[in-house]
Amino acid sequence: MHYPTCIRFIILYPGFFEGFIVDSVDLQVLRSAREWVKAGRRVVMATVVHTWGSSPRPIGALTAIRDDGIVAGSVSGGCIEDDMILQVREGKLVGDKPATTKYGVTAEEAKRFGLPCGGTLELVLEPLTRASGLDELLARIERRELVMRTLDMESGRVTIGPANWPDQLSFDGKTLVTVHGPRWRLLIIGAGQLSKYLAQMAQALDYQVTVCDPREEYADTWDVTGTELRRGMPDDIVTEMNLDGHSAVVTLTHDPKLDDLALLEALKSPAFYVGAIGSRKNNDARRKRLAEFDVSQEEIARLHGPVGLKLGSKTPPEIAVAILAEMTAIRNGVSLPEFAEKEKATVAGCGVA
């Protein structure tokens, strides 16, 4: 069978459960690149540093290409990688030092490489070696640290250090600074079955996941690798985490004594998403309860309850998908009213139809 040229290669891409551990895209790319370098293979890593128009992949997207054409990750969805593979095989893509390249500058190139109309990508191409710092970088990421990697374009020298939540990728032509590790935080209230699926899937989306449950019968059975378990009371944990605009809170216990405690603090925080499990009727009752406390009507209106998009979800994995879909839409500034449950406003503790 003949396949189009632009897909005749192997992409090592996440999106699967490996013992219920799901890693982020760049973590898979970095791990593959490290193993290839250790095996003595020639490896080129490409990072998207600028985009113009309708680019298929965001700034910061990574791909690593081995000398025999094996690829990990993606910067375009396929066809640009095909061109880079040919150049890597021929030793033409990049020399001993980092370099830059652009794809899709002209309409002809955009058509050739399968880019959307007007789309242009600028990539930093880096030949990887044992001095590229991948061991240290991965060790820090796997400790759930937020890490900054700085690449000097002239010398190829790499330095690695701690990053802060507001830090972003930057490139001025001389220095490439990339940020790795969990860029978003998710606090889940409740350590039940649904929470396990939500935590596992969230890690694939670069969330640093914290689970709070003071109930021993649930906390003692929590076993999701890469997450932090907190046994304190939900309102205390929300306060201690000092939530910011990169944070989300989802309450899943079905116990108002726990869920409402978290919501009272989370709704007053800058968290970009606050959601609560339960039916529409239960969430209407929850809004009335919250209105009796020191929570404004504007803050109550921020609550996503019933939590998640209206996808007809029934099983715990499907509900987790619905929750993450809504979180992703909100963090990307996308409104999906046709999928979302309509919420009722609450005025002075009374539901308004």
| CATH 3.40.50.720 matches 184-352 | yes
Give residue 341's identity as a one-letter amino acid code.
Answer: E
Q: CA-to-CA distance for 271 and 25, rounded, in angstroms? A: 24
Cα distances (angstroms) measured from residue 341 to each of 17, 73, 297, 327: 29, 35, 19, 14
Would you say 40 and 74 are in contact if contact means Cβ atoms under 8 Å apart? no
Domain boundaries, the chain: 5-132, 184-352
Would you say 274 and 302 are in contact if contact means Cβ atoms under 8 Å apart? yes
What's 329's DSSP letter?
Answer: H
96-154 pLDDT, tens digit each: 999 999 987 566 666 666 666 557 889 999 999 999 999 999 999 888 788 999 999 99
Would you say 181 and 199 are in contact if contact means Cβ atoms under 8 Å apart? no
Task: Tell me the helices (H) and strands (E) count for the chain, helix number first.
Answer: 11, 18
187-222 pLDDT, tens digit each: 999 999 999 999 999 998 889 999 999 999 999 999
Please give the model's pTM, rounded to 2 decimal places: 0.65
Q: CA-to-CA distance for 348 and 195, rounded, in angstroms? A: 32
Q: CA-to-CA distance for 168 and 252, rounded, in angstroms? A: 32
Regions of the chain with pLDDT less than 50: 1-22, 343-353
